[in-house]
Structure 1
Amino acid sequence: MSRPRASERKPPWLRTFVPKSSPLVVTVCEGCGLYVIEDRESVWESWDYGCVEGDDLTVAIILGRQLTRVTWLPSVGHPLLRSTFGSRGIMPDGQYLARHMCHLARISVKPFTPPKRDRPPGKPWGGPKLSKQEIAEFKRIWNMPYSQLKHEKTPTNKVGQGDEFQALF
């Protein structure tokens, strides 16, 4: 049996959206010849590759198309699809994929853009500054055996960081 031929060009951003390590697979629909994203993690489902958000989300709800929420996993570099139930679970700031319906137009062909990182890689966090006394106390407690640690009393003094107060434990 031969593979179905695609009736369209494969969008280049799909290679980064669905890498080889992902449980998602980009295939060609046998019925209409369009590229679809198949979720092969549990139940095999086909989704159109366009990112549904904003006004397209309203169109999808009006047309009654089933949606799945795209959750980007930065640690592994690929998305995870989470089912929504009707209009429940749909948030206006989310990104979704619409269920593939053969021979019907896609709701969207907008490429998926992963969320921006909170900070550029390689830059320091810039969190609270610790004094040498606090670092020494942390190291002492960190290196203490558990049997000794459970008999240790919690210190009553609090260490201040400007207007904030932090307890050591």
Structure 2
Amino acid sequence: MSRPRARERKPAWLRTFIPKTSPLVVTVCDGCGLYVIQDRENVWETWDCGLVEGDDLTVAIILGRPVTRITWLPSVGHPLLRSTCGSAGIMPDGQYLAMHMCHLARISVKPFKPPKRERPPGKPWGGPKLSKQEIAEFKRIWNMPYSQLKHEKTPTNKVGQGDEKQTLF
């Protein structure tokens, strides 16, 4: 049995959307020859390749096309599909895939872009708050060979033990 022949080029965004570790699989539909996404985790379901959101979501609801919600898992780097029951579970700001109906036009062909990781703002480093003597002592110890450093006595005036408050960050 031969594999079905694709009638279109494979969308490039599918490589980042569905990595090899995902339970989702990109394949060619046997009937119409279009690329589809198959969820093979529990019940095998077939979805069109195209992000449904905004006005496209309204079109999918009017046409009665079932949709599934995309939940991006940044920890594993691939999406998880959550089923919706009719209009329950559909939110206007969500991202969805429409169920594949062979020989019918797709609701959308918009590519998926994974969300950017939010990073908390960091505190700017204000530079060293050490005296010139402490910086010179650090440089001296830093540049000392290890064989000589083993025999070095610990100084009684330790760096950062003065009256000023030292913090790491």
Same fold (TM over 0.5): yes
Provide, for residues 47-98 of structure 1, a one-character-per-residue CA deviation record: whole Å limited to 9, x for no partner: 0010000000000000000000000000000000000000110000000000
1:109 aligns with 2:105: no
Q: Which residue pairs with 2:89 in the alignment? A: 89
- Distance (whole Å) between structure 1 residues aligned to residue 28 and residue 13 of structure 2: 16
Q: Which residue pairs with 1:7 in the alignment? A: 7
Aligned length: 123
- Distance (whole Å) between structure 2 residues aligned to residue 85 and residue 71 of structure 1: 16
Runs (4+) of structure 1 moved beyond 4 Å?
A: none
| Secondary structure at 2:27 match in 1 | strand
| Secondary structure at 2:60 match in 1 | helix
Q: Which residue pairs with 2:38 in the alignment? A: 38
- Distance (whole Å) between structure 2 residues aligned to residue 35 and residue 15 of structure 1: 13
- Distance (whole Å) between structure 2 residues aligned to residue 65 and residue 119 of structure 1: 37
- Distance (whole Å) between structure 1 residues aligned to residue 73 and residue 33 of structure 2: 29
Instruction: Determine which structure has more spread, i.e. the larger CA radius of gyration.
Output: 2
1:27 aligns with 2:24: no
* AA matched with 1:95: Q
Provide, for residues 133-152 of structure 1, a one-character-per-residue CA deviation record: whole Å limited to 9, x for no partner: xxxxxxxxxxxxxxxxxxxx
The percentage of aligned residue pairs carrying the same residue is 83
How far residue 116 of structure 1 moved from its aligned partner, in angstroms, is 2.1
With normalisation by structure 1, the TM-score equals 0.71
How far residue 104 of structure 1 moved from its aligned partner, in angstroms, is 0.1
* AA matched with 1:32: C
Q: Which residue pairs with 1:100 in the alignment? A: 100
How far residue 115 of structure 1 moved from its aligned partner, in angstroms, is 1.6
- Distance (whole Å) between structure 1 residues aligned to residue 84 and residue 62 of structure 2: 15
- Distance (whole Å) between structure 2 residues aligned to residue 60 and residue 117 of structure 1: 29
* AA matched with 1:56: D
* AA matched with 1:89: G
CA RMSD of aligned residues (A): 1.2
Gaps of 5+ in 2: 124-169
| Secondary structure at 1:59 match in 2 | helix
* AA matched with 1:2: S
- Distance (whole Å) between structure 2 residues aligned to residue 24 and residue 57 of structure 1: 22
With normalisation by structure 2, the TM-score equals 0.71
